[in-house]
Amino acid sequence: MGLPSVSVVIATYNRLAFLGLSVDSILDQTWPGTEIIVVDDASTDGSREFIDRRYGERVVYRRHESQLGPSAARNTGIENAQGELVAFHDSDDVAYPGRLVAQAQAFEADPELVLIGGQVDYYDVDLKEIFQRPKMLAPSDLEIRLIGLFMQPVSFGSSMARLAVIRRHGLRLNPDYPAAEDYDFVLRLLRLGRAKNLSQPVIKYRCHNEQQSSRASSRMRDIQRQLSQVRLAEIGLEIDQQTRAALEHLIVNPDTTLKDFGSGGAEANGLMLLVQSYRLLLQVLDALARVEPPRPGELAALRQALRERCMAAIGL
Cα separations in angstroms, 252 against 58, 86, 91, 152, 160 = 40, 28, 26, 11, 23
pTM (predicted TM-score): 0.93
Q: What percent of the chain has pLDDT over 90?
A: 79
Class of the CATH domain delimited by 6-216: alpha beta
Going by pLDDT thresholds of 50, 70 and 90, the confidence category of residue 252 is confident
Going by pLDDT thresholds of 50, 70 and 90, the confidence category of residue 211 is low
Q: What percent of the chain has pLDDT over 70?
A: 94
What is the average pLDDT value for the chain, to the nearest integer? 92
How far is Cα 299 from Cα 115, in angstroms, rounded to an integer?
A: 20
**Residue type at position 292:** E
What confidence tens digit (pLDDT) does each residue in 281-297 have?
Answer: 999 999 999 999 999 99
What count of residues does the chain have?
316
| Domain spans, the chain | 6-216, 238-314
Which of the pair, 138 or 77, is modelled with greater confidence? 77
